[in-house]
Amino acid sequence: MASRHIHTFEPVPALFAQVSELAKTLPNVTCYNMALADIVGTLPLHVSGGQSDACSSLLEPYTCLEERPLITFEKTIMVPVTTIDAWAQTHQIPTLDFLWLDLQGAELLALQGATRMLKTVKAILIEINLTERYKNAPLYTDITSFLVSHGFTLDTEALHHETWGDALFIKAV
């Protein structure tokens, strides 16, 4: 059996440094200091702090500020972004077995930039929003419609909060 490789994307410089440090002894992990979206270029990233540094998003914070008032968004930085399709072509990645997307509301942007590679994906674990936690963030129904239109079916959902959760989609056979 061929060895599996993990590709991870982290646009926040300080978090990227942490992930890279943790992964440096793992030969099957490659880290990229960029965000996934539906374009190749640069976009503003709203960087979270305070109680959590894990809520940064390409989308502007909205009701998530009410949910977790101890999280702050005090700065916006420009970060490199790429599409999954462009990244895969650049790095000569012919297939992706599994995608895990937790992009604070920007998951659909990443999926829209992956229409070629989605044909090779077997399963997607994705964060879903039941309310507009980030401005113009697609809702769970938007994600589901997009993935169903690309041959996926909902396998399992886990709602961790009244406004968000995770869903596992499997490629329909």
Q: Is 52 a residue whose pLDDT tops 90?
A: no
Q: How far are the Cα atoms of 16, 142, 144, 145 from residue 23, in angstroms, in the given order?
A: 10, 34, 32, 35
The pLDDT-based confidence of 15 (bands split at 50, 70, 90) is very high
- pLDDT exceeds cutoff 90 at 172: no
Q: What is the pLDDT of residues 93-135, one digit of tens each?
A: 999 999 999 999 999 999 999 999 999 999 999 999 999 999 9
More confident residue, 57 or 51: 57
45, pLDDT greater than 80:
yes
